[in-house]
């Protein structure tokens, strides 16, 4: 079993009494030397054999133990228990099997504190690298899953930081820096957000200039944000989203011109339609407002556009049409919250059903607000 320049390899007798390996494991090692199999042993004995194999560089024994232990991983509980052992003994297959189970169980596994602690640890990332499993793609996937659960959470930030540590290629750094900037912006940590967006720009990610402009605007520098977007349009081939973004930092006719240009260059952008529709409603042009929002719904259905049209229909006391739109948006997003996150769509369905059947007036009036690129409709 022993090869190489070990002192023990030149002895007639080797004493294993002080090596921490039990007599049962040593007997198992003797059996393995003849059968080359470990599947008949108790898992705890196989763990000891794995330690022995690592200590004395027994590659064949280590491979057999690694393969057998990997076959035991069949649920999240066993994966959480065994992955630490796998990392400690650099067991490639065992760690891979545990990762496969944990990733397959996402998002449930991400709610397990032990799993979160494992993936968020910088030390664990280094250990995963030793067995060839710490990759940019792994942490990109984990951070994306965390963002889907809660974009503002500390877990999301930590996983993105691990993602930054794994980034080596230029495009990887661009993506990691930009996503960290987006998360910090959501958390209203504007100074940190600006730092990450600027880092992404330094790596060549032009779109991150939008993030820099947003953070400057949030920090009270509206004109600087406008000039930044103006220079982006001047220095690059103009796109619809550039004009849409610049419209956030101006007003009046200039804003409308930018939004119209954005629609001409990219008809799939929904914000210009929503802004124009609300502007028409404020001028009591409800029919024109509905026609405007219908333009985007005609080829790109989204919950927020359906919600907006529902409120337009409610203002016309067309409760049947509004009910149809709310039900449609709940089909797209069953957890959709209306009134800027204050009312679940199902509750509005119940109210509309009552009002439609009774023929009563549901809402006396509506107040429409625009906050950046997001439209909010608040019932009075």
Q: What is the pLDDT of residues 312-326, one digit of tens each?
A: 998 888 888 989 999
Where along the chain do its domains lie? Answer: 135-219, 250-380
> Could you name the CATH architecture of 135-219?
Alpha Horseshoe (1.25)
How far apart, in whole angstroms, are the C-alpha atoms of residue 337 and residue 339?
Answer: 7
pTM score of the predicted model: 0.77
Q: What is the H or E stretch that residue 260 is in? A: helix 252-265
Distance of CA 145 to the CA centre of its chain: 4
How far apart, in whole angstroms, are the C-alpha atoms of residue 253 and residue 97?
Answer: 60
- The answer to whether the 135-219 and 250-380 domains have the same CATH topology is yes
- Which region holds residue 359: left if phi is over 0, alpha if psi is between -120 and 50, else beta? left
What token pair was written down for 145? 């899953």
Give the C-alpha distances (Å, rounded to integers) separating 309 from 259, 299, 319. Answer: 20, 15, 12
Q: Does domain 250-380 have CATH number 3.30.1050.10?
A: no
pLDDT in tens, the chain (380 residues): 444 444 444 555 666 665 667 777 777 777 877 888 888 788 888 888 888 888 777 888 888 888 989 999 989 989 998 998 888 888 889 999 999 999 999 989 989 999 999 999 999 998 888 887 778 999 999 999 999 999 999 999 999 999 999 999 999 999 999 999 999 999 999 999 999 999 999 999 999 999 999 999 999 999 999 999 999 999 989 999 999 999 999 999 999 999 999 999 999 999 999 999 999 999 999 999 999 999 999 988 999 999 999 999 988 888 889 899 999 999 999 988 887 777 787 888 888 887 777 654 444 444 433 333 333 333 32
The residues, ordered by sequence, that sit 6+ positions from 77 with a Cβ below 8 Å of its Cβ are none
Q: What is the pLDDT of residues 204-214, one digit of tens each?
A: 999 999 999 99
């Amino acid at each position: 079993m022993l090869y190489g320049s070990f002192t023990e390899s030149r002895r007639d007798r080797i004493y294993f009494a002080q090596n921490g390996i039990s007599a049962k494991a040593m007997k198992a090692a003797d059996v393995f030397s003849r059968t080359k199999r470990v599947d008949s042993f108790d898992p705890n004995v196989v763990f000891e054999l794995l330690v022995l194999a690592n200590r004395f560089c027994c590659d064949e024994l280590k491979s057999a133990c690694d393969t057998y232990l990997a076959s035991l991983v069949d649920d999240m509980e066993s994966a959480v228990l065994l992955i630490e052992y796998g990392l400690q003994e650099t067991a490639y297959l065992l760690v891979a099997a545990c990762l496969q189970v944990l990733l397959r169980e996402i998002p449930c596994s991400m709610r397990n504190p032990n799993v979160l602690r494992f993936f968020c640890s910088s030390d664990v990332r280094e250990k995963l690298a030793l067995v060839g499993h710490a990759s940019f793609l792994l942490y990109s996937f984990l951070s994306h899953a965390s963002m889907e659960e809660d974009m503002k959470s500390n877990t999301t930030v930590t996983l993105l930081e691990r993602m930054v540590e794994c980034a080596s290629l230029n495009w990887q750094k661009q993506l990691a820096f930009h996503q960290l900037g987006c998360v910090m912006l959501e958390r209203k940590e504007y100074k940190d957000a600006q730092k990450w967006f600027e880092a992404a720009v330094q790596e060549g990610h032009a779109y991150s200039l939008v993030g820099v402009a947003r953070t400057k605007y949030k920090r009270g520098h509206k004109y600087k944000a406008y000039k930044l977007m103006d220079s982006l349009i001047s220095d690059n081939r103009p796109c619809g989203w550039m004009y849409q973004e610049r419209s956030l930092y101006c007003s009046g006719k200039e804003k409308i011109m930018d939004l119209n240009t954005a629609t001409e260059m990219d008809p799939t952008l929904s914000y210009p339609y929503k802004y124009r529709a609300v502007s028409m409603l404020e001028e009591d042009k409800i029919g024109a407002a509905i026609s405007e929002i219908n333009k985007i719904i005609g080829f790109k259905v989204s919950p927020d556009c359906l919600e907006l049209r529902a409120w337009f229909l409610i203002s016309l006391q067309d409760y049947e049409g509004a009910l149809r739109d709310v039900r449609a948006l709940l089909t797209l997003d069953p957890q959709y919250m209306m009134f800027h996150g204050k009312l679940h769509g199902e509750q509005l369905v119940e109210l509309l059903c009552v009002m439609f059947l009774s023929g009563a007036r549901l809402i006396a009036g509506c107040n429409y607000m625009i906050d950046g690129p997001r439209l909010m409709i608040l019932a009075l």
